[in-house]
Amino acid sequence: MVCRNVGKTWAEGTARAHEALRDIDLDIAPGEFVVLLGPSGCGKSTLLYLIAGLERQTAGSIFAFRDPVEGPSPDRSLIFQETSLFPWLTVWQNVSFGLSIRGAPEAERRAVAREALQRVGLAEAMEKRPDELSGGMRQRVAVARALAMRPKVLLMDEPFAALDVQTRAKMQDFLLDVWRDSGASVLFVTHHIDEAVALADRVVVFTARPGRIKSIIPIDLPRPRDPFSPEAEALRRQLTEELRSEVDRAFAEQEALTPG
Amino acid sequence: MNTDVAGTAVVPRPAPAPSGLSPATRQALARFGWAVLSVGLFAGIWEVLWALGWADEKLLPPPHIFLGNIPDQARFFNTATRWQIGVDANSGPSPYEAVFITIGATGMRVFVGLLIAAVLSVSIGVLIRYVGILEKLVLPTITLLSPVSPIAWLPVAIFIFGIGNAPAIFMVVVALFFHMVLSTISQIDNVNRNFINVARTMGASKRQVYARVIIPAILPQLLIVLRLNLFGAWMVVLVAESTGVGFGLGQVIMMARNTFNPSLVFFTIALIGLLGFLSDWLLRFVQKRVLYWVPETAGVLRGL
Ligand SMILES: Nc1ncnc2c1ncn2[C@@H]1O[C@H](COP(=O)(O)OP(=O)(O)OP(=O)(O)O)[C@@H](O)[C@H]1O
Ligand SMILES: [Mg+2]
């Protein structure tokens, strides 16, 4: 994945124009795990949408495997911030939705769905409906659905934000396993510094309004990582510092925008 | 009831239903009981007003009078064939058959009209969103015509279709169509963006997005709109029938008015009420079957 000078202005050319991203230059190597970290509203989701091909950038260009991104592709799976399972399908039908789009026979779809659900520890829930699952289980199903597509790039928008700490740690381990097995690149958005340190090859820190890349911090710790090692501690401190100034700035701007 | 409450208080697991009925059956029975009570209360107040002499039985005959002599009332339903040339009042079906023919005719018009309106308006609503040029070409006209009262279409119905079933069905279709097209379009616009985006990232074509995501996503709201319009359909059919478009319950009411027969009016009103209730129940049943994934909110509301 290559982003060159990518910018996005929502509602461009209208009175409500809003610049969400500016001058994003980012290369993601095959098989790399990149985490985007930044204050709320800085355009992280927007960047994922652009890379997924769901929205068009208003400046610069994006390439996937040397081809310019012109629309969505099964090669680039996006897991959304809000759960987005189809309520009218069962869990396994949701997971294999992409295969049914391609017209795969039911036996194959079931097999793929079972395998993907086993990876997220939900093989028991094949026949359930999304309504019958907890929020965390639904997000795991969404991960399984993305995996079932065998994407080359996995775009994840705060997928574990709604999970409790233990489940989240488990999900992170599992995600790293899946990532290693699949060889896909991952672009992972999070608010959590711990999560960034636990997962990333590189952490990209964003500035607020408009979102720009403030710094890119490589994390060379070997995996599996010890979250209590001095190196991890130092990285967390560094990232906290990087972020704090941005969050302060974002809040100051918000207050300036809302007088009184 | 007392033992039931006491029993569940001591043993914290659901005791088997004492009467041997399933909870669902008991719930249905209870609901039916309340419905009977509700109607009974209404009828009771009416009867009391009559007994006190406040409700004049020549104008507002209470239920025991207008329901008391059903064979007598049924005689009037012989309009079933009267509109045909050369048929006199005493020929044709027996009174009871006539009642059923009349009900069947009116009910059939309501349901055929509803069905045509639903299929037509949903297809056109979807097409308008699917084909860009259709929106520009068709939507302004539909928006323009949607506030026109269905009653204004009555002459048109008669001009085009004369008398019989067709104009009454046309009236139902025209009463629901514009409204339902607009409703379908707004439903489509409100489909969760993420649903559509998920399908798109998985390589769904436009056609697949519509067939696999948009249609199932708008179905629940559409069925609710259909149910809300059910009573409108009944109303329009009665108006169409009473103005001489064919025979049916509307025609009976009109005849009752012309011959000053309040008993017959109330008898027919009672029939129409019952039919409206039954058809709503039927549609609700269909709704539950088709929309197996929509949770029932009534339970949540009952907890308030
Ligand atoms: N569809 C849209 N139309 C117009 N503006 C939008 C749209 N989506 C996002 N924005 C704006 O773009 C900016 C960036 O939004 P985005 O959702 O990318 O932030 P984010 O970094 O993901 O925030 P969070 O961490 O809270 O999810 C916000 O100011 C938001 O108001
Ligand atoms: Mg976001």
Residue-level pLDDT at B8: 41
Residue-level pLDDT at A2: 87
The pLDDT tens digits for A183-220 are: 889 999 998 899 999 999 999 999 887 888 988 999 98
Q: Are A88 and B216 inside 8 Å of each other by CB? A: yes
> What's the CA gap between A43 and A22, in Å, rounded?
10
Which tokens sit at B113? 């009209």
Tally the C-alpha atoms within 13 A of residue A203's C-alpha that lie toward its C-beta: 25
How many percent of chain A have pLDDT more than 70? 98
Closest residue in B to A88 (Cα–Cα): B293
Average pLDDT, chain A: 87
**Which of A41, A36, A26 has its CA nearest to residue A192?**
A36
A101 min Cα distance to partner chain B (Å): 6
> What's the CA gap between B169 and B108, in Å, rounded?
9
Residue-level pLDDT at B245: 66
> What's the CA gap between A213 and A205, in Å, rounded?
6
Each domain of chain A, given as residue ranges in start order, spans: 2-75+151-257
Interior angle at CA B109, CA B107 and CA B114, nearest 5: 100
The pLDDT tens digits for A113-139 are: 999 898 888 889 999 999 888 877 888
Could you tell me if A185 and A33 are in contact, meaning their C-beta atoms sit under 8 angstroms apart? yes
Closest residue in B to A74 (Cα–Cα): B202
Banded pLDDT at A112 (limits 50, 70, 90):
very high
Does the beta carbon of A44 sit less than 6 angstroms from any atom of ligand 1? yes
The pLDDT tens digits for A40-78 are: 888 899 999 999 999 999 998 999 888 898 888 888 989
The pLDDT tens digits for A69-87 are: 888 888 898 988 777 899 9
**pLDDT 10s per residue in chain B (304 long)?**
444 444 444 444 555 545 577 888 888 888 889 988 998 999 999 999 988 888 887 888 888 888 887 777 777 776 545 555 555 656 666 777 778 888 888 889 999 999 999 999 999 999 999 998 998 999 999 999 988 888 898 888 888 888 778 888 999 999 999 989 999 999 999 999 999 999 998 889 999 999 999 999 998 888 888 888 888 888 888 888 887 666 788 888 888 888 888 888 888 888 888 888 888 888 888 888 888 777 766 555 555 5
Taking CA atoms only, the protein residue closest to ligand 1 atom 8 is: A46
**Reduced to 3 DSSP states, what percent helix, strand and coil does chain B have, rounded to the nearest 5?**
75, 0, 25
Walk me through the domains of chain B, giving residue ranges and CATH numbers: 74-191+222-290 (1.10.3720.10)
> What's the CA gap between B145 and B142, in Å, rounded?
5
Best substitution site from A9, A19, A46 to test ligand 1's pocket, by max atoms within 8 Å of Cβ? A46
Residue-level pLDDT at B13: 52
What phi and psi values does residue A147 have, to the nearest 5 degrees? Answer: -65, -35
How many percent of chain A have pLDDT more than 90? 32
Q: Does A150 touch chain B (CB under 8 A)?
A: no
pTM recorded for the entire structure: 0.79
Identify the sign of the CA torsion B9, B10, B14, B17.
negative
CATH code: domain A2-75+151-257 is 3.40.50.300
The A residues from 185 to 244 touching B (CB cutoff 8 Å) are none
Q: Does A52 touch chain B (CB under 8 A)?
A: yes
The pLDDT tens digits for A207-255 are: 887 888 988 999 988 888 888 888 888 989 998 888 887 777 777 777 7
